Amino acid sequence: MSTEPALMSLVAVANAIAEKKLSSHEVTRSCLHRIAQWQPRLNAFMAIESEQALAAADAADAALAKGNKLGVLHGVPLAHKDMYYEAGKVVTCGSLIRRDFVPKTTSTALQRLKDAGTIRLGSLQMVEFAYGPTGHNVHYGAVHNPWHVDHITGGSSSGSGSAVAARLTFAALGSDTGGSIRMPAHFCGVTGLKTTVGRISRAGAMPLSQSLDTVGPLAQTAEDCALLLGLMAGADPEDPTASTLSVPDYVAATKGSIKGLKIGVPTAFYVDDLDPEVARILDETIAALKAEGAEIVQVELPDQRQLTAACQLVLATEAAAFHKRWMIERPQDYGAQVLMRLQNGLAIPGVSYLEAMRWRGPALAAYLAAVTGTDAVLAPVGPVPAPTIAESDVGNGPDAEAVIQRLTRFTRPVNYLGLPSLAVPAGFTSSGLPVGMQLIGRSFDEAMLLRIGAAFQRATDFHAQVPKLA
């Protein structure tokens, strides 16, 4: 066991607390110690609640001593993206507009984790209203990448990626509407699961696009993500769009071999115009999966550019509709880039939006037909490693939308199709920046992705690397 509890995986630390090898107090203090060291460099936390966290840890230890274990995450301290409502707590959504917003209810995803015994370390930074892939936030400052603090974390779950990578929290909720879990996972070197639309209830999660929004975890390992998904997934009377499909044993799925599985690699789009180091790491990932017994096959996918365009039409329209009242009443309280992108949605005719929505079914059917015979598709999360904060700080300038579209080129088609995708750390560039690969699965088949991801992580150690304080 590591001498520093905060460095353990979620599964390992939960077991250690349950077996009384570590107390929740020791674990929480270890996290708070690292937060104190790293927060001035990273700006990953929106709020740090040290005293409350230690009090909750002491209460968890006392309960466990009496034999009262709440659940599998009893006494495990976590922090989440600051868009999950928790009754009585300020939830800023990374914005000025909601700087003082205190919800009366708790989000279903968060409540299910609390019911499993987690305690709260604070809340994590994010892009304003989750509308941006870089990690910039004009109101609360950019979040920094722990591997290179002058590089971006990716967004919009910027604090989640940064804090998990630096081992300030064992896991964190993010949200993925256009790539907002997978981009930070890719840039920060952590594992991130974008779930199937409807797999986890969105009740009490700040909305951005009702058709595309998904809730999911970022953590050290695929096994950690499996544990969290199993706790959060399932029907919810508070969210009629949440699926009523049964919830498999995702942790059990991570134990399986991938021998004989077929993994598709696209012949185009996801392999075009890659940074040479991303291309190298894609090749190395393919080799590692082959070595574990998977069969790699080429797949010819339908035109993914059309999916990206359709995604943009849906996302921009729905985001503008959610924000219209504040765009009229409080335009000055938005950051320039977020306001610019919200304004884009005003210029999309209703017929165009509905055409993009009507095409979703046939587009998904065409994709599934193209990947028949495979268990998952492997692709880079992004074409480049994390850019610097300076070079990606494009505000609402003329190149802003082009920069955003380039970063999210490989994530948006998956959002449009509502598919699950697991981003796993797959290597490092020569300058020490992490690079992630995504495994794209069929609707509601997260178990397959977690199985492949876990097998890849048993064969590699990229997920176990920890950034050092400079």
* Residue ranges binding other proteins (CB under 8 A): 196-198, 262, 303, 305-306, 308-310, 312-313, 316, 320, 324, 327-328, 340-341, 343-344, 346-349, 352, 354-362, 364-365, 368, 372-375, 396, 398, 400-401, 405, 418, 442-444
Give whichever of 50 and 405 is closer to other proteins, judged by the CB atom.
405
What minimum distance in Å lies between the beta carbon of 318 and other proteins?
Answer: 12
Closest of 461, 392, 448, 398 to residue 419, by C-alpha: 448
The C-alpha atoms of residue 298 and residue 271 are separated, in whole angstroms, by: 11
For other proteins, the closer CB: 27 or 311: 311
CB of residue 191 vs other proteins: minimum separation in angstroms?
A: 24
Q: From the centroid of its chain, how far is CA 378?
A: 17
Q: Which is nearer to other proteins, 40 or 373 (CB)?
A: 373
Strands (E), 204-274: 215-219, 262-266
Query: CB 277 → other proteins: shortest distance, Å?
Result: 27
Q: What token pair was written down for 443?
A: 């609707």
C-alpha 271/C-alpha 325 separation (Å) is: 41
Structure tokens, 35? 């937060």
Smallest gap from residue 285 Cβ to other proteins (A): 21
CB burial readout 24-59, b (16+ within 10 A) else e: bbbbbbbbbebbeebbeebbbbbbbbeeebbebbbe
CB of 360 to other proteins, least distance (A): 4
Please indicate whether residue 201 is annotated as part of the active site: no
**Given the residues 9, 158, 180, 392, the one annotated as active site:** 180
* Side chain identity at residue 378, one-letter code: L
Closest distance to other proteins from the beta carbon of 84 (Å): 25
Q: Are 246 and 209 in contact (CB under 8 A)?
A: no
Q: Which residues pair with 84 in a beta bridge?
A: 205
Q: How far is the CB of 411 from other proteins (least distance, A)?
A: 15
Positive or negative, the CA dihedral 393, 396, 400, 401 is positive
Query: Is 180 an active-site residue?
Result: yes
Question: What angle, rounded to 10 degrees, do the helices at 50-65 and 10-18 form?
Answer: 50
Question: CB of 190: closest distance to other proteins in angstroms?
Answer: 28
Residues 6+ apart with CB under 8 A from 364: 417, 418, 419, 443
Task: Assign 195 to helix, strand or coil.
Answer: coil
Q: Which of residues 260 and 276 has its CB atom nearest to other proteins in the complex?
A: 260
Q: Which residue of the set 9, 107, 156, 160 is catalytic?
A: 156
- H or E element in which residue 34 lies: helix 24-42
Give the position of tokens 């984790």: 113
Task: Find the length of the chain.
Answer: 470
Residue appearing with tokens 């499909």: 245
Rounded Cα–Cα distance for residues 392 and 403 (Å): 7
Other beta carbons within 10 angstroms of residue 180's beta carbon come to: 34
Q: Can you tell me whether residue 328 is helix, strand or coil?
A: helix
Active-site residue flag, 2: no
* Residues in Cβ contact with 86 at an 8 Å cutoff, skipping those fewer than 6 apart: 103, 106, 107, 110, 120
In the complex with other proteins, the residue whose CB is nearer, 2 or 306, is 306
Tokens of 457: 């992580």
Q: What's the closest the beta carbon of residue 400 comes to other proteins, in angstroms?
A: 7
Q: Which residues are catalytic?
A: 81, 156, 180
